[in-house]
Structure 1
């Protein structure tokens, strides 16, 4: 379930990087941990001691995190919702709007 705590972590993490994508030009895709210390939505939920670069070099989905006993509180759909709100945002403003829409859908407060 997307709890208020999870949403706050993701939203505030993305806000701190001005809602910029963690896009890796070398791999031509978004990354959990990208260049310039940017993180994607899910990347903000991965503890530093649990992250390894292979997560970005291959396709790590909810099932991979669940198998590693990480992010188990998120269903696959919720995981994808957070990930896609980051990955498919066309602009920082679009990303912010996408996350504000998630907050509304899940009756969460947008942190200040």
Structure 2
């Protein structure tokens, strides 16, 4: 996994599911009951996901990386600041249009390639 792959997984994954991922309590979630995933959640293999990652009030990706060596190894090729910014872009977005804008700004900031949504 590298920065561009994590970014693409988030961008294209959230677009494909057509909505942001929120828990039943209204908090952002790596995985929600319906199967929707947050931006970073789209790069997290199902076999490495743990319910504890969504326990509490927004466990950030830097904490998750410290909880599980397998997750840390999976994301070893990614800059944690990029992962954190992907999470913030998702969790702070008010809707999908806002998410797109935040992801475009993130791409510019981290020298990643943003692919505009096809109309």
**TM-score of Structure 1 vs Structure 2, range by shorter chain:** 0.7 to 0.9
Q: Using the TM superposition, give the Cα deviation of residue 107 of structure 1 relative to its aligned residue in structure 2, in angstroms.
A: 2.2
The 5-angstrom pairing of residues 79-94 of structure 1 reads 79-94=83-98
1:23 equivalent in structure 2: 22
* Runs of 5+ unmatched residues, structure 2: none
Aligned length: 110
Q: Deviations over 1:49-76 (max 9, x none)?
A: 1112121124353143245232233344
Q: CA RMSD in A?
A: 2.2
* Runs of 5+ unmatched residues, structure 1: none
SS in 1 for 2:47: coil
Q: Using the TM superposition, give the Cα deviation of residue 2 of structure 1 relative to its aligned residue in structure 2, in angstroms.
A: 5.9
- Greater mean deviation of Cα atoms: 34-43 or 73-82: 73-82
* 2:38 counterpart (20, 37, 40): 40
Maintained 8 Å contact 2:3/2:82: no
SS in 2 for 1:22: coil
User: What TM-score, normalized by structure 1, do the two folds share?
Assistant: 0.81
SS in 1 for 2:38: coil
- Greater mean deviation of Cα atoms: 7-16 or 74-83: 74-83
User: What TM-score, normalized by structure 2, do the two folds share?
Assistant: 0.77
The 5-angstrom pairing of residues 1-112 of structure 1 reads 3-18=3-18, 20-25=19-24, 27-58=25-56, 59=59, 61-69=61-69, 70=71, 71-111=75-115
Q: Deviations over 1:63-103 (max 9, x none)?
A: 43245232233344322211110001011100011011111
